[in-house]
């Protein structure tokens, strides 16, 4: 009962078993029936040919003189003796069970059995009357098998001797009984095939649904937040692709969960310090009010701390919930000068040489995302370079990618930090949040691009936005 309930609960398992079994059952029944009919027809053809050959062989033994005497009507005593000896002789060869000659009234005139009364009609002749009278002289045919009074199967063979007389041979068709038994055997074979088909269908369905059930349990563990769950083994083919995709999803979810936990911990840490300062400054303001003194400096510091908190929260929001990309063709000849104008005062203050080199005029990217990324990268370069430093902003393409680079001759990246620069909350700045480059990396990912950071051979560092060339329009 539990097995039936399990099959009913499984949508695909029940349908796989049903469809597979139905198709195979139909094929088994059809093939069984075709096999039986083919063997039966083959046997009948051979038997009919055999009885025709026998009838023709006996007819060739008939003396034409005695055959002509039959045309006159009732055979003479001599003719009767001749024909009975001929028929008896062939009967003794055990090639057949009964031989006789009959006329166009279907009356037997000579029979292999001496007990047969002259002029009697063999009932079997009436059933084959049309086939008999359609015969031409010296030609023969055979009837379909029939059951005799003794319960055995027989077959008639007829041969036309002359205009008024025919030769009839009754051949045993005992093997036809075996064929009828074979029909029953074929039905049993069909039923066995049905049983095997149902079992095979169940095994095949189980081979598909069992791995799926494992994946369902695996996904349930992921849903509970168990990102340490092991992926089920023994997966193959398309189900292996599905399990690999689910494993990647689990790893991504685990990383996101870890990221959120780190984010919450970092937010708590970063907010606690400014809040402590605000609390201290607020108490000082209260003390000054009690003394009747002014607290403008303390209030200004409180505002600064609040502004810092707002900027910090904005950075966290930008990182945790980046705006989905809406890519389009971005004109670098317009974007790069915009970036330069944003930092115009800082560039002038530090006497920085900003070199713009545009070899690729357009790139498929979200314009707001690309602008945000370049602002972050150029701002980092401005912090890194000293006075009279150099920064270059360039666009180009190779055979597979669009490339936008921000290069400077600043302090560069410490070798031990090169693999951490895109990690959330990693920073080497005193007042940095550690989210600038992490946000840039995430925005690049939103646009199916990559962001690379490396040190220059001589001095400084280079950050490269790398996006595969597409035919999007």
Among residues 178, 199, 220, which one ends one of the domains?
178
Q: Which H or E run contains 362?
A: strand 362-365
CA 371 to chain centre: 44
426 and 449 together in one domain: yes
- The CA distance from 380 to 359, in Å, is 24
**Last residue of a domain, which of 152, 178, 204?**
178
Residues 164 and 80 reside in one and the same domain? yes
Q: According to the model, what pLDDT value does residue 1 have? A: 45
Q: What is the CATH number of the domain that holds 436?
A: 3.30.565.10
Considering the domain architecture, whether residues 73 and 139 belong to the same structural domain is answered as yes
Alpha helix stretches (DSSP H) within 367-409: 367-384
Tell me whether residue 227 is in a domain: no
Q: What is the pLDDT of residue 268?
A: 72
Give yes or no: residues 82 and 173 share one domain.
Answer: yes
For residue 133, give the CATH number of its domain: 3.30.450.20
34/171 same-domain check: yes
* Residues 431/311, Cβ–Cβ less than 8 Å: no
Given 320, 341, 366, the domain boundary residue is 320
Residue 364's Cβ-side half-sphere holds a number of Cα atoms within 13 Å equal to: 11
Asked whether 444 and 388 are in contact (CB, 8 A), the reply is no
DSSP lists the bridge partners of residue 108 as: 102
Radius of gyration of the chain (CA): 52
Please give the tally of structural domains in the chain. 3
Q: How many CB atoms lie within 10 A of CB 19?
A: 12
CB of 100 within 8 A of CB of 112?
Answer: yes
Same domain, 28 and 170: yes
- The C-alpha atoms of residue 98 and residue 100 are separated, in whole angstroms, by 7
Tell me whether residue 192 is in a domain: no
Residue 272 lies in a domain: yes
Residue 50 domain-assigned (yes or no): yes
pLDDT in tens, the chain (473 residues): 444 555 455 566 667 667 767 777 777 777 777 777 777 777 778 878 888 888 888 888 887 777 777 766 666 666 677 777 777 777 655 555 788 888 888 888 888 776 766 777 777 788 888 888 888 988 988 888 877 777 777 888 889 888 888 888 888 776 666 666 666 776 777 677 777 777 776 777 677 777 777 777 877 877 777 777 777 777 777 777 877 877 788 787 777 777 777 767 766 766 777 777 777 778 877 877 777 777 778 777 778 778 777 777 776 776 666 678 889 999 999 999 999 999 999 999 999 999 999 999 999 999 999 999 999 999 999 998 999 999 999 999 988 899 999 999 988 888 888 888 888 777 777 666 677 888 889 899 989 999 999 999 888 999 999 999 876 54
In a domain, 201, yes or no: no
Residue among 470, 434, 440 at smallest CA distance from 453: 440
- Print the domain residue range for 29: 11-178
Residue 284: give its domain's CATH number: 1.10.287
334 & 418 share domain? yes
Rounded to 5 degrees, φ, ψ at 121 are -105, 130
Judge if 358 and 464 occupy the same domain: yes
Q: Are residues 316 and 332 both part of a single domain? A: no
- Is 222 a member of any domain? no
What per-residue string of b and e applies to 439-466 under the rule 16 or more CB within 10 Å gives b? Answer: bbbbbbebbebebebeeeeeebbbbbbb
The reply to whether 160 falls in a domain is yes
The CA-based dihedral angle spanning residues 410, 415, 416, 420, taken in that order and rounded to the nearest 10 degrees: 70
Same domain, 242 and 259: yes
Nearest CA-CA partner of 296 in 277, 306, 305, 288: 288
Per-residue three-class SS string for 213-273: HHHHHHHHHHHCCCCCCCCCCCCCHHHHHHHHHHHHHHHHHHHHHHHHHHHHHHHHHHHHH
Same domain as 160, residue 20: yes
| 128 is a domain residue | yes
Rounded to whole angstroms, how far apart are CA atoms 470 and 473? 9
Q: How far apart, in whole angstroms, are the C-alpha atoms of residue 407 and residue 459?
A: 10
20: its two tokens? 């597979």
Domain co-membership, 25 together with 50 = yes
């Amino acid at each position: 009962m539990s097995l039936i309930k399990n099959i009913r609960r499984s949508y695909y398992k029940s349908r796989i078993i049903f469809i597979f079994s139905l198709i195979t059952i139909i094929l088994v029944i059809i093939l069984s029936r075709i096999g039986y009919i083919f063997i039966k027809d083959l046997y009948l053809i051979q038997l009919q040919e055999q009885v025709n050959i026998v009838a023709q062989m006996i007819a060739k033994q008939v003396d034409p003189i005695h055959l002509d005497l039959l045309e006159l009507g009732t055979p003479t005593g001599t003719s009767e003796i001749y024909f009975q000896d001929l028929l008896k002789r062939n009967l003794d060869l055990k090639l057949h069970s009964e031989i006789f000659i009959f006329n166009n009234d279907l009356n037997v005139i000579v029979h292999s059995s001496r007990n047969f009364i002259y002029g009697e009609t063999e009932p079997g002749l009436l059933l084959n009357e049309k086939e008999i009278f359609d015969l031409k002289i010296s030609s023969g045919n055979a009837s379909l098998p029939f059951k005799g009074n003794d319960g055995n199967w027989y077959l008639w063979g007829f041969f036309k001797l002359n205009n008024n007389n025919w030769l009839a041979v009754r051949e045993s068709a005992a093997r036809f009984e075996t064929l009828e038994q074979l029909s029953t055997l074929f039905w049993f074979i069909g039923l066995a095939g049905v049983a095997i088909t149902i079992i095979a269908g169940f095994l095949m369905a189980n081979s598909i649904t069992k791995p799926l059930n494992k994946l369902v349990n695996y996904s349930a563990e992921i849903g509970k937040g168990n990102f340490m769950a092991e992926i089920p083994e023994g997966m193959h083919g398309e189900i292996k692709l599905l399990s690999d995709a689910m494993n990647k999803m689990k790893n991504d979810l685990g990383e996101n969960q870890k990221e959120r936990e780190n984010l919450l911990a970092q937010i708590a840490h970063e907010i606690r310090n400014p809040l402590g300062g605000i609390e201290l400054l607020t108490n000082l303001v209260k003390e000054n009010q009690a003394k009747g003194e002014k607290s403008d400096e303390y209030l200004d510091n409180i505002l600064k701390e609040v502004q810092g908190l707002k900027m910090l929260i904005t950075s966290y929001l930008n990182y945790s919930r980046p705006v989905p990309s809406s890519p389009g063709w971005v004109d670098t000849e317009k974007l790069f000068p915009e970036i330069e104008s944003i930092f115009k005062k800082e560039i002038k203050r530090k006497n920085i040489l900003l070199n713009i080199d545009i070899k690729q005029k357009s790139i498929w990217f979200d314009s707001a995302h690309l602008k945000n990324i370049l602002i972050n990268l150029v701002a980092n370069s401005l912090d890194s370079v000293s006075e009279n430093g150099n920064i270059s902003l360039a666009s180009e393409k190779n055979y597979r990618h669009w490339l936008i680079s921000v290069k400077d001759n600043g302090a560069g990246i410490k070798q031990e930090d090169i693999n951490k620069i895109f990690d959330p909350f990693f920073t080497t700045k005193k007042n940095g949040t550690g989210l600038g480059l992490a946000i840039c990396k995430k925005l690049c990912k939103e646009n199916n691009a990559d962001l690379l950071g490396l040190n220059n051979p001589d001095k400084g560092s280079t950050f490269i936005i790398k996006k595969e060339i597409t035919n999007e329009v």
